[in-house]
A and B are shown apart, each in its own frame.
Chain A
Amino acid sequence: MSGVDFSDPAVIASLAAALEAAGVDGIDIEQGTHKVRIVVERGGPGGVSQVDASQPAPATAEACFVAAPIAGFFCSGHPASVVPPFQLPREVVSGDTLAFVRIGPVLLPVRAPKTGVLTRFVAENGSLVGYGDPLFAIEPSP
Chain B
Amino acid sequence: MTDIRKTSAERKSGFDTVLIANRGEIALRILRACKDLGLKTIMVCSQADRQASYGALADTSLCIGPASAGKSYLNKDAVLLAARLTGAGAVHPGYGFLSENAAFSEAVEEAGMVFIGPTAQSIANMGDKIAAKSAMIAAGVPCVPGPDSELPDDHASVEAIASKVGYPVIVKAAGGGGGVACAWFPTPASCMNRSRSPVKRLGRPSESQRFTWKSSSSTRAISKSRYSATCMETRSGSATSDCSMQRRHQKVIEEAPAPGIAPDIIGPVAQACVKACLQIGYRGVGTFEFLYEDGGFYFIEMNTRLQVEHPVTEMTSGIDIVQAQIKAAQGIPLDVDQNDIKENGHSFECRINAEDPRRSSRLPARLRR
Q: A104 at the A/B interface (Cβ < 8 Å)?
A: yes
Contacts of B77 on A, CB cut-off 8 Å? 8, 10-11, 13-14
Q: Which of A72, A105, A126, A132 contacts B85 (CB 8 A)?
A: A72
Q: Which of B5, B63, B72 contacts A104 (CB 8 A)?
A: B5
Q: Which of A8, A17, A132 contacts B4 (CB 8 A)?
A: A17
Q: Can you list, as one digit per residue, whether each of B62-103 has a CB less than 8 Å from chain A (1) or not (0)?
A: 111110000110010110111011100000000000000000
Contacts of A13 on B, CB cut-off 8 Å? 4, 77, 81
Q: Which of B5, B61, B86 contacts A17 (CB 8 A)?
A: B5
Residues of A within 8 Å of B, CB-based: how many? Answer: 22
Contacts of B80 on A, CB cut-off 8 Å? 10, 14
Known contacts A104-B84, A131-B47, A132-B47; A71 and B64 CB within 8 A of each other? yes
CA distance A14 to B71 in the complex (A): 15
Check if B85 sits within 8 Å of A73, measured CB to CB. Answer: yes
* Interface core residue of B1, B3, B47, B78 (most chain A CB under 10 Å): B78
Q: B344 at the A/B interface (Cβ < 8 Å)?
A: no
Known contacts A10-B75, A20-B5; A128 and B81 CB within 8 A of each other? no
CA distance A18 to B65 in the complex (A): 22
- A11: nearest chain-B partner, CB-CB: B77
Q: Can you list, as one digit per residue, whether each of A66-95 has a CB less than 8 Å from chain B (1) or not (0)?
A: 000011110000000000000000000000
Contacts of A17 on B, CB cut-off 8 Å? 4-5, 7, 84
CA distance A20 to B71 in the complex (A): 25
Main SS of chain B's interface residues? mixed
A129 to chain B minimum Cβ distance, whole angstroms, is 9
Check if B64 sits within 8 Å of A131, measured CB to CB. Answer: yes
CA distance A17 to B64 in the complex (A): 18
Q: A58 at the A/B interface (Cβ < 8 Å)?
A: no
Q: Can you list, as one digit per residue, whether each of B30-61 has a CB less than 8 Å from chain A (1) or not (0)?
A: 00000000000000000100100000000011
CA distance A18 to B71 in the complex (A): 21
Q: Which of B47, B62, B72, B75 contacts A128 (CB 8 A)?
A: B62
Q: Which of A20, A71, A73, A132 contacts B82 (CB 8 A)?
A: A71
B1-17 with Cβ < 8 A to chain A: 1, 3-5, 7
- A127: nearest chain-B partner, CB-CB: B1
CA distance A14 to B4 in the complex (A): 9
Check if B81 sits within 8 Å of A105, measured CB to CB. Answer: no
CA distance A90 to B367 in the complex (A): 48
Check if B5 sits within 8 Å of A128, measured CB to CB. Answer: no
- B72: nearest chain-A partner, CB-CB: A131
CA distance A133 to B65 in the complex (A): 11
CA distance A71 to B84 in the complex (A): 11
CA distance A134 to B61 in the complex (A): 15
Q: A103 at the A/B interface (Cβ < 8 Å)?
A: yes
B337-356 with Cβ < 8 A to chain A: none
Q: A21 at the A/B interface (Cβ < 8 Å)?
A: yes
Q: Which of B1, B3, B60, B78 contacts A8 (CB 8 A)?
A: B78
Q: A26 at the A/B interface (Cβ < 8 Å)?
A: no
Contacts of A105 on B, CB cut-off 8 Å? 4-5
Contacts of B72 on A, CB cut-off 8 Å? 131
Check if A71 sits within 8 Å of B63, measured CB to CB. Answer: yes
In the assembled complex, 8 residue pairs joining A and B whose CB atoms fall closer than 8 Å, in A order, are: A10-B78, A10-B81, A14-B77, A14-B80, A72-B85, A130-B62, A131-B65, A133-B63
A interface, CB within 8 angstroms of B? 8, 10-11, 13-14, 17-18, 20-21, 70-73, 103-105, 126, 128, 130-133
Other A-B contacts than A13-B4, A70-B81, 17 sampled, CB-CB below 8 A, are A13-B77, A14-B81, A17-B84, A18-B7, A71-B63, A71-B64, A71-B78, A73-B1, A104-B84, A128-B86, A130-B62, A130-B64, A131-B47, A131-B66, A132-B47, A132-B63, A133-B63
